Amino acid sequence: MGRLEEQISRGIQCLRRGGIIGFPTETVFGLGADAANANAIARIYEAKSRPREHPLILHLGELRDLERWVHEVPTSAESLANKFWPGPLTMILKAEPNQGREFRGDNNSVAVRVPAHPVAQALIRGLGNGIVAPSANRFGRLSPTTAQHVSDELGEKIDMVIEGPTCPIGIESTIVDLTEKVPVILRPGHIDEKQISQALGQEVLTVESKTNKAPGSYPVHYAPNTPLTVLYRDDMEKFLHNDANGISVAVLGRSKRPYFSSAAVWQVAPFSPAAYAQNLYGLLRRLDHSGCDLIAVEEPPHRMSWFAIHDRLKKSSIPKIALAEFIKSQSRNNLNHDQI
């Protein structure tokens, strides 16, 4: 047996015994538990420090497996499944009343996805049951896209991580809510609004990302530890020169570092939206560990293909109104350190 197959079979045994495991999907790494094991599901919430009111996604082997969990499979769900499953699409459907209370809480709906990643598929099939899995990060942090990220995030709190081939998409699945008359995209992703509305033959709505509501409050989702801001290319140097006030800035740029730049660190991001998404969280983690006071991301183009990336950057950002305040406090700190 190869190393990967051996890990998968250990993973299946672990899930059977009520363990929780990190595993790759085509989007990001999940933290999985047997959907029938209430105790293991509780451990997921504990390991992530995730409040119980946030429901988990149920990962299934194929469309047919929905029946047990979903009250009635609408034709819209069948159309989307035929087109996009297995793949990076999660559907919110009306739940079968007595199933899945442990991971969907008091919601009448259940989130389901059939992942395409061979490791995820092998685990589900081997277990012979659905696997519930949130992204394998601590609550509110960036999703992991390598086994190392999972270990850094959750370490001893989980039973094992499957190393396997990693995550080709790199950002979390598109979530579409099919419980109302008009489908609503709750979280944008690799599969975009246009593809979904084409597959359904009807208009769909999108929900504006809900973060950064309160001025001065810190980001609540997908955030690195280091505060992050998004700036237009033309504003970047002006910001570094005039506004950064001596704090050290790590830039995630779209092109080469200008020779005159005063950024402490300059990382060039991949050019295409697909490669950018695939590498985004890994690069943000690297910049997060660079020791800089602030991460400044150069604003990507405003086209449909970048929509999900804008959403994640927005969810990672410190509110604009808090930025000046943050820089002021940080440069004061730096000054104090210098004097000691």
Kindly list the residues in this chain that would bind Mg ion in the complex (CB under 5 A). Answer: 135
Angle at 127 between CA 123 and CA 129, to 5 degrees: 105
- Give 135 or 278: the residue with its C-beta nearer to ligand TXA: 135
Nearest CB to ligand TXA, comparing residues 56 and 292:
56
Q: Which stretch binds ligand TXA (CB under 6 A): 38-46, 108-116, 249-257, 265-273?
A: 108-116
Q: Which residue is nearest to Mg ion (CB)?
A: 135
Q: Which is nearer to ligand TXA, 308 or 327 (CB)?
A: 308
When asked if residue 229 is in the footprint of ligand TXA (CB under 6 A), the reply is no
Which position among 17, 39, 49, 54 is part of the footprint of ligand TXA (CB under 6 A)? 54
Binding region for ligand TXA (CB under 6 A) out of 102-110, 156-164, 288-296, 301-309: 102-110
Range 172-191, binding ligand TXA (CB under 6 A): 172-173, 175, 186
Question: How many residues touch ligand TXA (CB under 6 A)?
Answer: 23
Q: Does 30 help bind ligand TXA (rule: CB under 6 A)? A: yes
Shortest approach of ligand TXA to residue 18 CB, angstroms?
19
CA torsion sign for 111, 304, 30, 43 is negative
**Under 8 Å between Cβ of 235 and 338:** no
Nearer to ligand TXA by C-beta: 163 or 298?
A: 163
With CB under 5 to 8 Å by kind, the binding choice for 212 among Mg ion, ligand TXA, none is none
- HEC profile of the chain: CCHHHHHHHHHHHHHHCCCCEEEECCCCEEEEEECCCHHHHHHHHHHHCCCCCCCCEEECCCHHHHHHCECCCCHHHHHHHHHHCCCCEEEEEEECCCCCHHHHCCCCEEEEECCCCHHHHHHHHHHCCCEECCECCCCCECCCCCHHHHHHHHHHHCCEECCCCCCCCCCCCEEEECCCCCCEEEECCCCCHHHHHHHHCCCCEECCCCCCCCCCCCCCCCECCCCEEEECHHHHHHHHHHHCCCCCEEEEECCCCCCCCCCCEEEECCCCHHHHHHHHHHHHHHHHCCCCCEEEEECCCCCHHHHHHHHHHHHHCCCHHHHHHHHHHHHHHHHHHHHC
Q: How far is the CB of 221 from ligand TXA (least distance, A)?
A: 8
From 76, 90, 166, 212, residue interacting with ligand TXA (rule: CB under 6 A): 90
220 binds, among Mg ion, ligand TXA, none (CB under 5 to 8 A by kind): none
Q: State in angstroms the smallest separation of the CB of 186 from ligand TXA.
A: 6
Interface residue with ligand TXA among 47, 60, 110, 269 (CB under 6 A) is 110
133 binds ligand TXA (CB under 6 A): yes
Give the footprint of ligand TXA on this chain (CB under 6 A).
25, 27-28, 30, 54-57, 90, 92, 104, 107, 109-111, 113, 133-135, 172-173, 175, 186
